[in-house]
């Protein structure tokens, strides 16, 4: 790493104030560590963003057999063609969603000294606040701060470990979204032609990580990103975003804006579920644009699977395989896949490529 760049990174990191600290200091030019390489910026000028919609799936009436079959078909189609969809009428009260967003806003906007006790780069900490988990690994820092909350198993985290300012609202949201996650995995099991509890028995939802992002207004949004393009190294992601927008999904080699829907949740297929489905479902590239207005707040729930010891080995689901549909991926362990992801910065080549089985003639 360039010595001057490393000094800049350390200087920024040592403030423990994140990007929010830069904005509070009144910066009008973003520091060099956030500026994307010139070739990326040149490519961006030629990229077109198209105004088509990510599929929106209404879950109303899911308790009725005919309607449930229709919902399953819609989820299957979206998972195969987009890898992303939004859900509405999912059963989580709007007040819970709004309170969760407001709670995360309050955490990030409280007195800097109150946040510093949670500031760490130790990924083993269950509750940690930082700016850019990959700060020293990525080529370019992102315009984003994050409060991360990890659950390796249900009930493992004590309430008093969470910041007081957002404790109640966050725990309430976590309870609801984990319950909704169980519903999602049932629907996805059915979309694969399996019994509703198949993915549940594989413990795909056992461990969860909640990334509570804060994207401050950026004085030069055209030079940086809120989150670099990447694939999620998990089974499934459920995202709650505010109404500002900025999330973009790669579709047919173009960036598509994911329009915020009041009360909606964005769902995307993770790389691990792509492997389990033997490629039937797609994990796709996505990113978050920086914005001149803000802050933007989002809460991503990453369903990571089983971290039990001895570790569970995952691979393409046997019931989906046949002579005509042989396994396309090798088996893997969740922790190994995660370790490989955290060894490099966002935007680097996906590790799913390493697990692909080359077809023989």
Specify which residues 239 forms β-bridges with. 266, 300
pLDDT for 340 equals 81
Tokens of 49: 């963003």
Q: Residue 51: pLDDT above 80? A: no
* pLDDT tens string 106-155: 999 999 999 999 999 998 899 999 999 999 999 999 999 999 999 875 55
Distance CA 311, CA 13 (A): 34
- For 2, other C-beta atoms within 10 Å of its C-beta total 8
For residue 183, what is the DSSP state?
H
Distance CA 167, CA 126 (A): 14
Report CA-CA distances (Å) from 293 to 144, 155, 261, 288, 355: 14, 38, 19, 14, 41
pLDDT for 351 equals 78
pLDDT for 306 equals 79
* pLDDT tens string 297-332: 999 999 998 776 668 889 999 999 999 999 999 998
In the Cβ-directed half-sphere of 114, how many Cα atoms lie within 13 Å?
11
Instruction: Kindly provide the b/e burial profile for residues 155-190, where b requires at least 16 CB atoms within 10 angstroms of the residue's own CB.
Output: eebeeeebbebbeebbbbbbebbbebbeebbbbbbb
Distance CA 105, CA 212 (A): 9
HEC letters along 217-252: CCCCHHHCEEEEEECCCCCEEEEEECCCCCEEEEEC
pLDDT above 70 coverage of the chain, percent = 94
Q: Residue 258: pLDDT above 50? A: yes
Distance CA 274, CA 314 (A): 12
Regarding beta strands 254-257 and 49-50, do their DSSP bridges make them parallel or antiparallel, or are they unpaired? parallel
Q: What interhelical angle do 65-81 and 167-191 show, nearest 10? A: 90
Distance CA 274, CA 262 (A): 28
Distance CA 334, CA 283 (A): 16
- Residue 186 in 3-state DSSP? helix
The residue ranking higher by pLDDT, 102 or 312, is 102
Average pLDDT, the chain: 93
Q: Residue 361: pLDDT above 50? A: no
- For 309, other C-beta atoms within 10 Å of its C-beta total 7
pLDDT for 1 equals 56
Q: Residue 348: pLDDT above 90? A: no
pLDDT band at 50 (very low <50, low <70, confident <90, very high): low
Q: Residue 183: pLDDT above 60? A: yes
Peptide bond into 310 cis (omega under 30): yes
pLDDT band at 182 (very low <50, low <70, confident <90, very high): very high
Q: Which domains does the chain have, with CATH numbers?
A: 3-353 (2.60.120.330)
* pLDDT tens string 3-38: 689 999 999 999 999 999 999 999 999 999 999 999
- E-strand stretches of 40-176: 49-50, 56-58, 84-88, 127-130, 145-151
């Amino acid at each position: 790493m360039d010595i001057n760049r490393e000094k800049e990174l350390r200087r920024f990191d040592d403030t423990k104030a994140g990007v929010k600290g830069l904005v509070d200091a009144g910066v009008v030019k973003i520091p060099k560590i956030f500026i994307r390489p010139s070739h990326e910026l040149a490519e961006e000028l030629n990229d077109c963003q198209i105004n088509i919609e990510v599929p929106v799936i209404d879950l109303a009436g899911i308790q009725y057999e005919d309607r449930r079959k229709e919902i399953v078909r819609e989820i299957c189609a979206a998972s195969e063609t987009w890898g992303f969809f939004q859900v509405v009428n999912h059963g989580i009260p709007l007040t819970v969603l709004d309170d969760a967003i407001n709670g995360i806003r309050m955490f990030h906007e409280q007195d800097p000294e109150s946040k510093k006790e949670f500031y760490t780069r130790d990924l083993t900490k269950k509750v940690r606040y930082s700016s850019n988990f990959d700060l020293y690994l990525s080529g370019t820092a992102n315009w984003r701060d994050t409060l991360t909350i990890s659950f390796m198993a249900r009930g493992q985290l004590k309430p008093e470990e969470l910041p007081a300012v957002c404790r109640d609202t966050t725990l309430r949201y976590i309870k609801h979204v984990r319950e909704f996650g169980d519903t999602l995995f049932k629907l996805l099991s059915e979309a694969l032609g399996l019994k509703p509890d198949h993915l549940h028995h594989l413990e795909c939802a056992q461990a969860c990580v909640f990334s509570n992002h804060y994207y401050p207004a950026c004085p030069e949004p055209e030079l940086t990103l809120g989150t670099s393009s990447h694939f999620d190294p998990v089974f499934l992601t459920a995202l709650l975003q505010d109404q500002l927008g900025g999330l973009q999904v790669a579709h047919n080699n173009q960036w598509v804006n994911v329009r915020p829907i009041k009360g909606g949740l964005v769902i995307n297929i993770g790389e691990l579920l792509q492997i389990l489905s033997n490629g039937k479902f797609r994990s796709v590239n996505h990113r978050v644009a920086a914005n001149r207005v803000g802050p933007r707040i989002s809460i991503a729930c990453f369903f990571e699977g089983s971290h039990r010891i001895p570790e569970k080995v995952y691979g393409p689901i046997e019931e989906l395989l046949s002579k005509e549909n042989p396994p396309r991926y090798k088996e893997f362990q969740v922790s190994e896949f995660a370790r490989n992801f955290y060894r490099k910065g966002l935007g680097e080549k996906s590790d799913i490529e390493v697990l692909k089985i080359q077809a023989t003639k």
